[in-house]
Structure formats: structure tokens, C-alpha cells
Amino acid sequence: MSKINKRDLQRPSGFPDLSPVQAIAIRDATSIIREEYELAGFSPMTTSIVERPEVLTAKNEGEILNQIYGLRLLNPASDAQDDSKELALRFDHTVPLARYVATLYHELEFPFRRYAIGPVFRGERPKDGRYRQFTQADIDIIGNGSLDLLHDAEMVAVIARIFTRLDVGTFTIRIGHRKVLQGLLQAVGLQDEVLQAKALQEIDRLEKIGRKNVTKNLCDIGMSEVNAEALLQQLETTSLDTLTDLATENSLLREGIEELSEVLHGVEAHAVDSAHYQLDLTIARGLAYYTGTVYETRLDSNPGLGSIASGGRYENLTGAFSNHSLPGVGISIGVTRMMKRLIQAGIYPADRKTVARVLVAQATTSPKTRIQALEVAAMLRQQRIATEVYIDSARLAKQLQFADRRGFTWVVILGIPDMEPGHVAVRTLATGEEERIPIKLLPTKLS
Amino acid sequence: MSKINKRDLQRPSGFPDLSPVQAIAIRDATSIIREEYELAGFSPMTTSIVERPEVLTAKNEGEILNQIYGLRLLNPASDAQDDSKELALRFDHTVPLARYVATLYHELEFPFRRYAIGPVFRGERPKDGRYRQFTQADIDIIGNGSLDLLHDAEMVAVIARIFTRLDVGTFTIRIGHRKVLQGLLQAVGLQDEVLQAKALQEIDRLEKIGRKNVTKNLCDIGMSEVNAEALLQQLETTSLDTLTDLATENSLLREGIEELSEVLHGVEAHAVDSAHYQLDLTIARGLAYYTGTVYETRLDSNPGLGSIASGGRYENLTGAFSNHSLPGVGISIGVTRMMKRLIQAGIYPADRKTVARVLVAQATTSPKTRIQALEVAAMLRQQRIATEVYIDSARLAKQLQFADRRGFTWVVILGIPDMEPGHVAVRTLATGEEERIPIKLLPTKLS
């Protein structure tokens, strides 16, 4: 068989492997996210990774259209009915959800709530070093015709429980509102929607480029310096009360303030620790997409990670797919990106190389000790203790080195010549301590 | 926004969605598989879904080469460095494992064991109605230079524990051996490897077309009827002892019998119930691939499902990628295919439409009961009781209908006018029974 050359064995950039250490850590975190989604009554609903290109492009515009991967058969058999031009990889979980809900509208019970955890694909330019395959963990609630605002509050409670359990330090969920933001722009005289969009883009960069630069840029798109400064001051408020005067004159702003107040009341009722969230009127998120509440989440110790859980309320999920009005609210956690960064920054522990804590080894080997090793492992597994057996012949020192490098906690050693019958040695790797105990006490000792 | 037409909303065949009912059932089964893999000391290692085409095609031949999907950008931006011709979707977990082990050979500890659970893609012809995306759950153990035979025994123990826990009725793991099979072919005079391969293909069809037809087909490829019948009789033995005479004359057969005996001893040591496995010399599996022990697993009640867990020993994992000798043994469970069939056949229960058992509802609504509903849900979730809230305004009858259709067990009803303060009603949906209890007793009542 001809060898392929080394260059061809290299990973294409943006499609990383997860080593056992990373995979164990990410699996643990994903389990927590899944458990919390389920605790809040979200059930899994899993769409295929492959959608029709028409579905993926129907509602979207801009950059994402250049990032969608279609499929093609590498070597189509001559007789194959090759339909691969009708196949493409999803770039998020929202479009597939919209397609699913539009197609099964008459069979679903609303509000329809589901979670989705799985890979999505985006053809970012490889030189940018971004992930091109990554796992997203989403929840959404979809209403039929209308959807109560208190669902928006629930999202905050779910995010708070997840990051409390992930134990990655203090975090802040920022809650904003598109109507309040847009209303404030109107209140300072920015009526034109194109100019509003430009202003929102600038406001989105407040943290990155600072207030002074944003003021300047707002002036560049036609605002007076007085208005720009007034706007930024209003956006930086931490209480909705300060905006009430402006709201009497602007119905969009009034509506936004009322909605946001209701959501904040709901967050309180959900018993979310007030240290975990704050009003932040500067967050805009997907400009064309969200229409009400918007969320971002930052780690207080590491705001540079960017938002680790984001989302918001959208007026209609299925615009391009159905004539029904299906408002929704949802959040998304970019698991791969977040976890790789949390691990790299030392914020999330990734130190387990094996899920098993016990290795069964042999000091001397014989057909009898080999069989005994399997029997001991079978007994421990019967007691739900994850166990690996070193059955290949090797000196004990090599087996202990293997155990150490792989990160086991205990080694159970069989085949020690002077051992009492029915006994084994248990070595605790961290201390090097070794103890001889009856085999039947192993489950107690090792749990 | 223009609507896309209905035809474009249809799923491409072979890429199915999983409804919540299916997704919950499959998630439960996948959790059991994952837990049992981990219990046996396998850790997750996750490769990207995308590989270089050269990697996927290096070691493979035949049909699979026509089934590999490559990627292409649907609308490449003019300035993009489009490398999508270097991207393709994996069709199994074994080739990516080989690439991973070959690349990281010097960093890994051997024996290297890992599990992989995730989607793979095969461009089957759509008219065949096969899945083109499906989840496979694999374990493999890779040795450096050599790998003890007792690892082969462990595979049987893992399969047995999984299907016992899945509770899908009695099952039989069939254990065969490629060397025994090939040795028997040699012993009846079939020396030519091309003819051997043809004979193996026929033997593989024994169950499907019956002994008489296989005998006929073996004669067609050049065996005498006497030899063909002798061969089939030998293959049907349930004890290796009957083959010992033949083995003295054939070294390959002798080697195979010795190896297989060792494996069967190991299976016994692993405390696998003898009802769960049997010797079956007729199974051949991937002709070019496996070199020793081979496994198939059937449900006794439903053999027509085919093998639900298969695998075997291979002499060298990384032939095309590395000069090291890396023997391995592994099994694969085709989760999607198996579960869809088990659910369809009523063998695996898929009846839960929601992961939550409790719905909080309101008989009459007010700002106060709305907030109270969230508070009650927060309390139950705090006690790890999965809970959904019906917060949108609707008559109680509609909320109860919703609860019934969605499959909740209990409805907690707030806002009943004559209720004692601090109390709620708990309705058990199966019986329609309703009970009034203090809120603080809810966690006990509902767990």
C-alpha cells in the first residue's frame, strides 16, 4: 500500500481534533449544559446536519452566504443519481428549527421548546484561524401568534444556572432591548433606518474602541456632538427610570421600556442572583434579526473572551418558510469556542486524561493472574467503578509509569509472589502508598 | 421576503430529523452506550467531521470511494482562499482514528483506547432509502507493535453490558475468527485468495439464502460438492474441539483455533453470561479488513434487524499513514440505524415527548400568579425537578390539554380562587386526580 505524504495527514485549519483531555472536559461541560436545558423543560430535537441550500439561503444575507458549504461526491459512480447539489451543511441551529417548525406546524404543540446541541459549519477563511466546525448548544421557545415576555426572563435563569454550575468564576448576563435602543436613537433625532443601523454598529463597538471614538464616529454619520453624547449617556444608564421622561414622547421607547421592565421582573421571580445580571442598553446583537430582548454574557475575570452565551427575542422565526406568525426567544452557547478558550486560559480544568480511575496491573504474569485481572475488572465494573486492565505483558515498572502518565488514581496489583491468597495490593499513585487488602474490599476502597 | 416553495422545504432523503420523542429515546440509549464505554476505561477522543480527501481514500477501495462527500463553498466570496477541495466528510470513525494515531504516535501512551460517538456520512444512492448521515458509536484499542488477545475478550463484555442495560430482549454475540475461517478453506483445498474471497462472500450469505444455495454457489466457484458440504458442516460447529484434527495439518487453522480459544477463555473471565454469546465460524465481516477475531450481535427476537454491534481485530490500523505496526481491536454500534429500527419495531420504548414531568399552570392569571408560577418553577428546578411553565395566557382547560398531549405527569395549578394561601393543586394527569398541598411540600410530592 502506498503511503500518503505527511502534508496530507495534517489537519485542515479550523477543523480541530479534541484530545482525550479536551474531549473529557468538554463532555463534562456539555453534560452540564444539557442537564440545565432539560431541567428547564427543554427537550432535545435533532435536525440533520444537512439541509437543502434553498433553506439555508432563504432568510439570510450578507457574509454568511459566502460561508455555506455544499456537498459534492468526490468520485460519483457513473450510475449514481447524484443529488449532492441539493445538499449543504447547516451553519446554525436556528434555520433548521425554522424549517422544522414550518413543516410540522400542524403537528406541534405551542409554545414549542427544544434544545439542540451539535456541530455547525462555516466556511470562514482558513487564514483567519477561526473554527470552521464548532458545536453550538441552543434553546428556543416558539409561540404560535404570540409568546409571553416572561419566557425571555427564563433564558436569563437558564444561563445563570449553567455558568454557576460550570464554576468558571463570576459572570454577568447583560440584558438589553432592541426597541429601547432604537427608540433612543429616534429620540435624539435619528429617524432614518440606514443611519440607525450604522449608529448601532458603532454602539456595538463601545467596549472595543471607547466612548470618545464612538462619539466621533456618530458625528461622522451625521449626529451632533451634543446628541451623540446625550445618547451615550442614556445608553449607559443602569436603571430604566431615568429614561421615562424621554419615553413619554416616543412610543417605541415606551413600549421597549415596558417590555424590558416586565422581563426584569420575571428574572427576579426566577430567583436569579442579582450579581449575575445587569441592564445594558448598549448591546445590539444581530442587527436585522432580534426585535426585543437581547442578551450577552461575559466572564467578569475575562471579558476579552467576548460573549459566551447570547441570544434574544425575534418577531418571526419562519418568515421565509411559512405564513404563520411564530415569535420566539432563544439563546446559544458556542461550546467549542468557549471551552477551548476557557481551557486555554486555565479557567476550566482540563487535567483528566482518562475517565477511569483504576488500572489493574500484574507484578508477575501467568495464565492465572491474567484471568484474575479480568475477573477483578469485571467485579469493579459490576460495582460501577470505571476500570482499565493492563493485560499486555510488561514489567510492573512500565505498567506503573503508564498508569502515572495516563492519570489513574489507583493501581490494583495482582501476581505479587508473597501475597496472601485472595488479596491484592492497591497503590495510590499520588502518594506512592501501597496497601494489601482482600479482593472483596476493593469496591469499598476504590469508590 | 419571498417564500421558498414547499418542495424545497422537504428533507433530502437519508438525512432525517429526530423528533423530541425519537431524540429523547436515542439520547437515553446513547447515554447508556457512553457510560458502558467509560466504565470499561475508554475515554472520548473526538476527531473533526472533516478530513482531507487523501486521508479518506488512502486505505480504502471499492464501493465506499464512490460514497465520500467532499465540500464546496456554495457562493465563494471573490477574495476567499477557497480550500474546500481539500475538505471531505468522514464515512466512519476508524480512518480518522488511524490518522490521529499516526500523527501523534510519539505522544500517545499505548495501548491507546478511545471511544467516538458521532455522525458519519455516506453518499448512498437516495433511492435506496438508506441513511446518508448516521451516528456510530465506536471503541478501539490500539497496541504498539503487539496487542494482547484478551483485549478481544473485553469487547464481548462491553457489548453484553450495553445490550443488557438497553433491555431490548435476549441477544447473541457471535464470535468468529478470520484465521479459522481461512484455514478451513485451505483445509478443503481452496488455496487461491481470490477464490477464498468469493467463498467468504457466499458463506456470509448463509443466513440469507440458506445452506443449499450456498453449497451450490461454492460448487460454482470450483469446490466439489463433498468439500463444500464438509466445509459448511465444520463452520457450523459450536465447539472448537471438533476442528483439532484438521488443525494438525494446517498452521493457519491451528493459530486461529489457539487465538480463538484464548479469547473465549477471556470472555468467561469477564463474567459474560454464556447465554449472551456463541462461537460462530461463519461470520466473515469486512473481507479485506479484519485479520483475527470478528463479532456480530443479533437480537434473538428480531434477527432480521441484522447485526447491531460488530467489529473485530485488525493487524495494522495505520498502514497507509505510518510505518509503525499498530494492531487493534474494536467494535462499532450503528446507533441511528439500530435505534430507529428498535423504536419502529416497538422493542425500544419511545413514548416520552418531554424530559420534564411537571408543568406549572394557572387557573386564573394575574401579575401575582404569573410571578408565583416562575417562583414555583425556580424552587422545583432548585430541587433538580425538571419543570416547564405555561406562562402564556390560556384557559386552564387548554393548558391541561397541552399538558396531556405533551405527556407531563403532573400539573401544578396556581391561581385557584378559593385556595388556602401558600397552597397549590397538583393534578396527576394519568388519573385526573387533584390534590391541594402546601407549596413547600411540592418537591417531595413531585420527586
Nearest to B55 among A8, A86, A125 (CB): A8
**Alpha-carbon dihedral B296, B302, B306, B309, rounded to 10 degrees:** -40
Whether residue B109 and residue A405 make contact (CB cut-off 8 A), yes or no, is yes
B314 has pLDDT over 80: yes
Which residue in this structure is represented by grid cell 504498539?
B144
Q: Chain A closest CA to B392's CA: distance in Å?
A: 5
| Closest in B48, B54, B113 to A17, CB measured | B48
> What pLDDT is recorded for position B1?
44
pLDDT of residue A80: 59
Minimal Cβ distance to A81: which of B44, B126, B143 = B126
SS3 content of chain A, % helix, strand, coil (to 5): 45, 20, 35
Q: What is the pLDDT of residue B80?
A: 59
Candidate from A114, A356, A402 with C-beta closest to B109:
A402
- Closest partner residue to A320 (CB to CB) among B3, B39, B377 is B3
Percent of chain A with pLDDT over 90: 78
> Which phi and psi angles does A240 have, rounded to 5°?
-70, -20
- CA of B356 to nearest chain A CA: how many angstroms apart? 5
Contacts of A387 in chain B (CB under 8 A): 39-41
Q: Is the pLDDT of residue B231 over 90?
A: yes
Contacts across the A-B interface (CB distance below 8 Å)? 334
Chain B hits for A10, Cβ within 8 Å: 52, 103
Considering only A52-61, A116-125, A154-163, B329-338, which range has the smallest mean pLDDT?
A: A52-61
Name the minimum distance, in Å, from the CA of B315 to any CA of chain A. 14
In this predicted model, what pLDDT tens digit does every residue of B260-277 receive, in sequence order? 999 999 999 999 999 999
Cβ distance of A387 and B38 shorter than 8 Å: no
* Model pLDDT, residue A79: 59
CB contact under 8 A, B71 and A70: yes
The pLDDT of residue A324 is: 92
Q: Which of B374, B375, B400 to mutate to test the interface with A (most CBs of A within 10 A)?
A: B374
pLDDT of residue B3: 66
B109 and A406 in contact by Cβ < 8 A?
yes
B176: β partners: B294
pLDDT at A288 over 70: no
Average model confidence (pLDDT) for chain A?
93
Across B208-230, average pLDDT: 93
The DSSP bridge partners found for residue A284 are: none
Q: Do B41 and A355 touch (CB under 8 A)?
A: yes
Residues in chain A within 8 Å Cβ distance of B128: none
Stretch among A128-132, A331-335, B66-70, B258-262 having the lowest mean pLDDT: A128-132
Best mutation target, B1, B2, B71, to test chain A (most A CBs within 10 A): B71
Cβ contacts of A382 on chain B, cutoff 8 Å: 271
- Identify the residue among B27, B50, B121, B315 best suited for mutation to test binding to A, counting A beta carbons within 10 A and taking the highest: B50
Report the SS3 class of residue A185. Answer: helix
Interhelix angle A193-204/A206-220, nearest 10 degrees = 150
Closest C-alpha among B105, B131, B115, B106 to residue B47: B115
> Which residue from B190, B311, B183 is spatially nearest to B257, judged by alpha carbons?
B183
Cα–Cα dist B60/B208, whole Å: 27
**Which of B67, B125, B384 lies nearest to residue A81, judging by beta carbons?**
B125
For residue B391, name the pLDDT band (cuts at 50, 70, 90): very high
Q: How many CB atoms lie within 10 A of CB B213?
A: 13
**Nearest CB to A319: which of B1, B41, B48?**
B1
Residue B93 pLDDT: 96
A372 vs B70: CA distance, rounded Å: 49
Task: Please answer whether residues A97 and A114 qualify as being in contact, where contact means their C-beta atoms are separated by less than 8 angstroms.
Answer: yes
Minimum-distance CB partner of A3 among B1, B65, B320: B320
Tell me whether residues A387 and B83 touch, CB distance under 8 A. no
Judging contacts by C-beta atoms under 8 Å, the chain A residues touching residue B38 are 355-356, 386
Please judge whether B271 and A132 are an interchain contact, meaning their C-beta atoms are less than 8 angstroms apart: no
In angstroms, how far is the first alpha carbon of chain B from the final one?
Answer: 48
Q: Cβ–Cβ of A75/B55 closer than 8 Å?
A: no
Chain A residues with CB-CB distance to B11 below 8 A: 48
Q: Which three cell numbers stand for residue A14?
A: 479550523
Residues of chain B contacting residue A86, judged by C-beta atoms under 8 Å apart:
12
Structure confidence at residue B5 as a pLDDT band (50, 70, 90):
confident
What is the residue type of B296?
Answer: E
pLDDT value at residue B2: 53
Q: What is the per-residue pLDDT for A304?
A: 85
- pLDDT tens-digit series, residues B152-203: 999 999 999 999 999 999 999 999 999 999 999 999 889 998 899 899 889 9
Check A132 against B393: CB less than 8 A apart. no
Give the distance, in angstroms, between the CA of residue B299 and the centroid of all CA atoms in the same chain: 14
* For helices A150-166 and A251-269, angle between their N-to-C axes, nearest 10 degrees: 50
Q: How many CA atoms lie within 13 A of A87 on its CB side?
A: 24
Taking contacts as CB-CB distances below 8 angstroms, the residues of chain A near B49 are: 15, 49, 119, 133
What is the chain A residue with the closest CA to B54? A8
- What is the Cα–Cα distance from A25 to A27, expressed in whole angstroms? 5
Hey, how many other C-beta atoms are within 10 angstroms of the C-beta on B288?
A: 11
Backbone angles phi, psi at B298, to 5 degrees: -125, 150
| Predicted local confidence at residue B318, as pLDDT | 83
Half-sphere exposure of residue B324: CA atoms within 13 angstroms, side-chain side: 19
B239 pLDDT exceeds 90? no
Within A304-395, residue ranges assigned H as helices are 335-344, 367-382
**Per-residue pLDDT tens digits for B294-313:** 999 999 998 888 899 999 99
Tell me which residue of A136, A127, A46 sits closest to A91, measured CA to CA.
A136
Task: For an interface test with B, give the residue of A28, A50, A99, A103 to mutate (most B CBs within 10 A).
Answer: A50
pLDDT surpassing 70 at residue A122: yes
**For residues B374 and B390, is the Cβ–Cβ distance under 8 A?**
no
- A184 to chain B nearest CA, in Å? 28
Instruction: Give percent above pLDDT 70 in chain A.
Output: 97
Q: What is the mean pLDDT of residues B113-135?
A: 91
Return the bridge partners of B268, or none. none
Distance CA A78, CA A404 (A): 54
Q: How many beta carbons lie within 10 A of that of residue A66, not counting itself?
A: 19
Beta strands per DSSP E along B75-132: 88-89, 112-121
**Average pLDDT taken over every residue of chain B:** 93
Interior angle at CA A412, CA A407 and CA A415, nearest 5: 135
If one counts every other C-beta atom within 10 angstroms of the C-beta of residue A127, the result is 11
Nearest-Cα distance to chain A for B348, in Å, is: 18
Cα distances from A407 to residues A356, A410, A447, B283, in angstroms, run 9, 9, 16, 38
Question: Which chain A positions have a beta carbon within 8 Å of B134's beta carbon?
Answer: none
Q: Which of A4, A113, A265 is nearest residue B58 as measured by Cβ atoms?
A: A4
- Between B50, B266, B374, which is nearest A374 by CB? B266
Look up residue B194 and give its DSSP letter. H
Query: C-alpha grid cell for residue B295?
Result: 463479532
For residue B142, the surrounding DSSP H or E stretch is: strand B133-142
Residue B360 has, within 13 A of its CA and on its CB side, a CA count of 28
Give the minimum alpha-carbon distance from A224 to chain B in angstroms, rounded to a whole number: 35
Q: How far is A202 from chain B (nearest CA, A)?
A: 25
pLDDT of A81 reads 73
Chain A neighbors of B73, CB-CB under 8 A = 66-70, 123
What structural domains and CATH numbers belong to chain B? 12-344 (3.30.930.10), 358-445 (3.40.50.800)
All residues of chain B having their beta carbon less than 8 Å from the beta carbon of residue A392 are: 111, 143, 146-148
**B71, A69: Cβ pair inside 8 Å?**
yes
Average pLDDT of span A21-26: 97
Max mean pLDDT among A184-193, A333-342, A433-442 falls in A433-442
pLDDT at A1: 44
The mean pLDDT value for B404-425 works out to 96
Of B88, B269, B384, the CB nearest to A374: B269
B163–chain A nearest CA distance, Å: 15
